[in-house]
Amino acid sequence: MVVREETSYDLDKKIWDSGMGLCSWIHDFVTGQSGSPSPELDFVWQLFTSDSDPINVIELGTGTGLVSIWLAVSLGNKVHSSQGRQVKIVATDLPSAIPLIEHNIQSNAHLFAPGTTDENPVEKDLFPTGVDLIIMADVTYNIDVFPALIRTLGRIRAAPRVTSAVGRKVTQPPPVLLVYKERDSAERTLFDLCNEISINFKIISHIPGAGGNPIEVYVAS
């Protein structure tokens, strides 16, 4: 797997420690090396190990696309042999980051499971059956965007989910996986804002980073 970053001053075009740490955590989780590390992730664990339910994931602030591409490779190759199984991952970021994301997706297309397609989801119904998992890695570097991020989280979690196994709507909102490495204590105000809309994060893992503070893995469900 090869992911390009750019040497400009644009923060959305860099590979950050949090993304690397989340890829490591996803690998252990998807391959079963860690099992379900907390009750909050039991639903995700069951989703990843199911034989039939589709998996719908959205990543907010994907940057270079590293985490979404890693998840597509890891999870897609795990489930592609299941009849009717679909994995859909939507990677989002600022318009300025899209060309680099698309480049990295195409550069790794040969690693995706058979039948994988790359679509531009604009103007489409992204998830007819709802979102099963929200992922965010290192989205705290600009506290000015926190209100917009909170509104986005609230809208996504308010949409009902439908599972093919039971054929009915699931009322619980999708879990949120947040990976964070502290640079400024003010960034932690995101957790307070999330609490105000009933998104209560619990730390489930610490991962050593490239110096400085550890990478913290949180889940809210």
Q: What is the pLDDT along the chain (221 residues), one digit of tens a residue?
A: 999 999 877 777 889 899 999 998 888 877 776 655 667 667 667 766 666 567 789 999 999 999 999 988 887 666 554 555 677 889 999 899 999 999 999 999 888 877 666 666 654 567 777 888 899 999 988 899 999 999 999 988 888 776 655 555 566 788 899 999 998 999 999 999 999 999 999 998 888 888 889 999 999 87
The token pair that represents 183 in the structure block: 């640079």
Residue 191 lies in a domain: no
Residue 57 lies in a domain: yes
Residue 196 lies in a domain: no
Structural domain total, the chain? 1
Residue 197 lies in a domain: no
CATH classification at residue 157: 3.40.50.150
Q: In a 10 Å sphere around its CB, with 0-12 CB exposed, 13-18 middle and 19+ buried, how is residue 196 labelled? A: exposed
Please give the residue range of the domain that contains residue 54: 13-183+202-220
**Can you list the positions of beta strands (E) in 78-154?**
87-92, 133-137
* Consecutive H or E run containing 202: strand 202-207
